[in-house]
Structure 1
């Protein structure tokens, strides 16, 4: 494959990352692993710097983060920069008219090879890649073994020793070989059966790798066929966090940041400093001249980098707790080049309560919200940890997390930095703490908690309340700001007081893009108290009613794993990129779950469910 296909940078560490099946304008393909993102053993993409504390919090230790390689296409199709290799997959193509199967036709340069060339095919139809793939929960992906299926039960030596891959026909639920006459009849639905490929032992590990899957693995768990669009074929595992003080206050122009962005030079300086003072001085002088810094400044930067973990304020490793503290604490002497800039409107928000115009529901909303903060600038780091292929479900089947380089030997991880803005609110702890101890609330959330595997339910009422409110806010902001819902994201801070850990009840709604200039500023304008109040008022109003009520409101469980109660596409659900729940629960919970409008609007008496007072009635 030589024609380049552009892919968004942010997609390269998500649903277009290595191992995913990517659809371009005219083909399906799979990007190859991150071993092909390097040159001379070093990653082609630049280093992501000022993220030491985030690395600790995300559990990746001292493994550096690097951007994906990038390039751009100029006029006449000339590529400037890097390209990433991918393989066309599935490799089998199919004629929908005559049923003929073709294998890897693109090995030949002629475009005519993409059309059926069999003499018995009167339409000579354009070929399409077959819409099926063979998947294994240990992360393996391969073509459906059409030749093996056709010759699965050979009759005689001719069929048993047939080697002709170019004579297969799949039509009218029958797969046959025109060379030897072998055939196998099955429905398309049978192809996805969990035991359909019993006895097959020749599965490749990945479409671009020649290594085969060890036979014991295939015997322990059988591979299954899945349609190309099935979400169970590929699930990216990412982790994300915000860069907060003190690292957010270090500017990109500082010697420390520039040196951290040159890992090869940094390692060489460390080595020479320890072993050869003369060469260290020479190298330091050359590098200082190149970067236009004084040698003393580079020595100071080197010392600062090596002692950063000792000199920076102690870090608890509690990422969300540290972010919540940064969001709720005013930062003095902010500079516009910093990566975390907040503007607090809490005083103005509470000042609204003194206006006589506010009463009823609006006054209660003012009393419910504790803090209001506009995040004028934020920097989010997203790390790609690998992928799973959860093709087969079962209590005894555990999916394997495949690292970005497949073999798990690289000492770095791909990542991305996004810049944007957001709105943060926190709810009053006294109100939320009393609400979540209500017996009716506990009983309602217990129904959902029983369906969660290996997750405690202590914080679940609080989390479901904040999660539902965040979804309603995003749906309303979509109307008020012009941002599509898919461009907005939520980040939830939900925790009861636990020992030294302070309680949290906060919602950050934000947008972030790879452009260092960030977004356009329209979102933070909505953080101004009067405009935010209008958004929250409409969000609480929309929680009262759904177009599918009373069916939606009275549901005992709906959506994936029945993890939603009163929540559906008509009232609460968002595009999956906006929802944090899957990542927050370690990819064990599907997106758009743990939602329930009833926790906001309440449950009336007289039904099967215990009565729950509306949330705003808890506001004194």
Structure 2
């Protein structure tokens, strides 16, 4: 990843030549999931923030096509993050220095980096000849803005100085008495009493000092400040709360990704005139592709797709509605199955096991589907800071990736792997989810979630506005908990680490299924063995073992009897000793879980899905 441009020395009277300095490397997938636009990254003794899309060098980047997802997001295609090649003049992804404040461990000076007069390409105190340390603390808000911690205001509280300058220099010292914030002391040479950092993480203290969000967006070059009514909060620079990616994904399902559609996407024919399509057909298509695709059909299909894209852009399909439609289409394909007869490689192969399904139907599973090949495209659409983002968040909490009012691409990655899809018995499920005890237990989580949504709505838009609907239902909680239990079990039986598996939930009044699939873009996604877990014989042994494991937790009875647990109190019987997973495996950040709905409470007052019969 190339970094902050630095100026090389030049002859007097000439302009300095700005060249990129290569700072380090990260994997492409990390630029979507971990170090995306707006995220801070530590490199040696320096800290940087990943710059916006308008600074990325995309001349030689690989385009990723997923037509269904692109229509919902309003873009033409997606791109893999670029890789740097300074010899060819491509510098990939740029970063900018942030935070601006650094300190010297020897002289304790705390000031903007430029005042240290560090040698080019280094972060050193010129006087002490010692490496500098980036500020530990930053100020961020839920709308994604971020700024340096206001040390000057913090130490000059109650003084006669009014926002200008006291003429002194600020220092920071860490006392050896403890590791708490009380031991981090800020002082100023102007003579005001020194102040510790204790209380800096309390929003009430920031309010007293009239510290407000300034609307800064340092990841965007020359970005104007935005008006912001959010109360900023102090954050540790390395905390996970400083950057939450907002990602969207879709599976490539028929007819997209195979046959004539695969040819259209692979050769980028959307928008191409007829004569270009004819030339591509004659000169670039493989014999196997020509066998399956007729030229006139190809031209006709390109024009049909262009018309559908135009209509979709005019309709401006709402985010939530669009993604609900994507999930419904995927669910139907998973239930129906698909075996490609085309000579062009298929991106989706799904079929039923050959054995009789009676052993798993006794456990409430209606159908198992072996997904022998799948492709998922994951797109970084935005990010937020502070509170973990949800689908109910307002648009202002989605920070911009670029200053451009409209771009026709977004950064993305694609994952190819395998999976197992399970559909629950609809009759048994409907009988179970109407039991009063089940409804009452799920209502506890629903109320807690609605209270959380009301609190966010009151902060963002005023208490008089409507609150978004909670997705919590007995069906959703059951499917989500089932997915977690299976991932934990299959990580033991299938040879995959739990972090290499991922859930995809299909839960509404018309859907009742869960897809467990490989979730990494490296070799862990192609080990084989996960599809084998979907065979009837394997399920007949692994499902009872998983359910038996879920009946007991080392934190019981506290875990099972909990009235609220997890972040924001939207779990019941769920903890790290039983059903919680690595964050990369869960769609909802380990929220909305309750194993009691799966295996029942010890007293039997809440019947689990496994203990009921239609």
Could you state the TM-score of these two structures normalised by the residue count of structure 1? 0.78
Following superposition, the deviation at residue 343 of structure 1 comes to 2.4
Q: Aligned partners of 1:162, 1:227: CA distance in 2, in Å?
A: 27
Partner of 1:239: 248
- Residue 523 (structure 1) shift: 1.2
Distance 1:433 1:14 in 2: 37
129, 132, 144: which is aligned to 1:127?
A: 132
Corresponding residue for residue 365 of structure 2: 369
In 2, Cα distance between the equivalents of 1:396 and 1:468?
Answer: 24
CA distance in 2, matches of 1:406, 1:396: 21
- Alpha-carbon shift at residue 226 of structure 1 (Å): 1.3
Corresponding residue number in structure 1 for 2:16: none
Alignment partner, residue 570 of structure 1: 577
The one of 68, 72, 82 equivalent to 2:80 is 68
Give the one of 122, 137, 141 matched to 2:142.
137
CA deviations over 1:147-197 (Å, ceiling 9, x no partner): 45445655479x955566x6544555543333x445552433335434155
For residues 200 and 99 of structure 1, do their structure 2 counterparts lie closer, same or farther at Cα, with a shift above 3 Å needed? Answer: farther
Note the 1:529-540 alignment, pairs <5 A: 529-540=536-547
RMSD across aligned C-alpha pairs, in angstroms? 3.8
How far apart, CA to CA, are the structure 1 residues paired with 2:338 and 2:498?
30
Unaligned 5+ runs, structure 2: 5-20, 175-182, 313-320, 451-466
Q: Does 1:378 align with 2:408?
A: no
CA distance in 2, matches of 1:552, 1:579: 20
Q: Which residue of 1 aligns with 2:26?
A: 7
The separation in 1 between residues aligned to 2:155 and 2:240, in whole angstroms, is: 28
Q: Is the 1:601–1:615 contact (alpha carbons within 8 Å) kept by the matching residues of 2?
A: yes
Counterpart for residue 616 of structure 1: 610
Tell me the distance in 2 between the aligned counterparts of 1:184 and 1:202. 26
C-alpha deviation, 1:82, in angstroms:
4.6
Does the residue aligned with 2:413 lie in a helix, a strand or coil? strand
Deviation per CA, 1:473-525, whole angstroms, max 9, x where unpaired?
101111112211111000111122xxxxxx22111100144469961322112
In the other structure, the counterpart of 2:453 is none
- Alignment partners' CA distance in 2, 1:221 and 1:330: 48
Does structure 2 retain, via aligned residues, the 8 Å contact 1:71–1:79? no
Greater CA drift, 289-298 or 559-568: 289-298
Distance 1:223 1:90 in 2: 16
Q: Write the distance in 2 (CA, Å) between the matches of 1:311 and 1:386.
A: 26
For residues 81-108 of structure 1, the C-alpha deviation after alignment (integer angstroms, 9 at most, x for no partner) is 6521012322322345653224326863
The whole-number CA distance in structure 2 between the counterparts of 1:162 and 1:197 is 17
> Are residues 373 and 168 of structure 1, via their aligned partners in 2, closer, same or farther at CA, if it must alter by over 3 Å?
same
TM superposition score normalised by structure 2: 0.79
State the shift of 1:459 in Å.
6.1
CA contact (8 A) 1:197 1:222 kept: no
| Corresponding position of 1:524 | 531
Distance 1:618 1:201 in 2: 53
How many angstroms does 1:145 deviate by? 2.9
Distance 1:592 1:412 in 2: 30
The aligned runs of 1:281-360 (5 Å cut-off) are 291=284, 301-308=298-305, 318-335=325-342, 337-345=345-353, 348-350=355-357, 353=358
Distance 1:566 1:600 in 2: 10
Instruction: Kindly state the Cα deviation for residue 598 of structure 1 after the two structures are TM-superposed.
Output: 0.7
Decide which of 467, 482, 485 is 2:495's aligned counterpart. 482
2:103 to 85, 88, 94: 94
Name the structure 2 match of 1:359.
none
Question: Which runs of structure 2 are paired with 1:413-428 in the superposition (5 Å)?
Answer: 413-428=410-425
CA gap of 1:528–1:443, structure 2 versus 1, over 3 A, is: same
Question: Relative to structure 1, is the Cα distance of residues 459 and 151 closer, same or farther in structure 2, using a 3 angstrom cutoff?
Answer: closer
Residue 48 of structure 1 is matched in structure 2 by 64
- Is contact 2:360–2:540 with CA below 8 Å preserved after alignment? no
Q: How many residues are paired up?
A: 550
Contact 2:337 2:369 in 1 (8 A): no
For 1:117-166, what per-residue CA distance to the aligned partner results, in whole angstroms no more than 9, with x for missing partners? 45xxxxx8643212111113332112123345445655479x955566x6
| Counterpart-to-counterpart distance in 1, 2:127 and 2:488 | 52
Q: 1 CA distance for matches of 2:393 and 2:307?
A: 44
1:600 and 2:613 matched: no
CA 1:290–1:84 in structure 2 vs 1: closer, same or farther (change >3 Å)?
farther
1:175 aligns with: 186
Alpha-carbon distance in 2 for matches of 1:493, 1:463: 8
1:431-473 alpha-carbon deviations (Å, 9 max, x no partner): 0110000011001111111112346568610111111111011
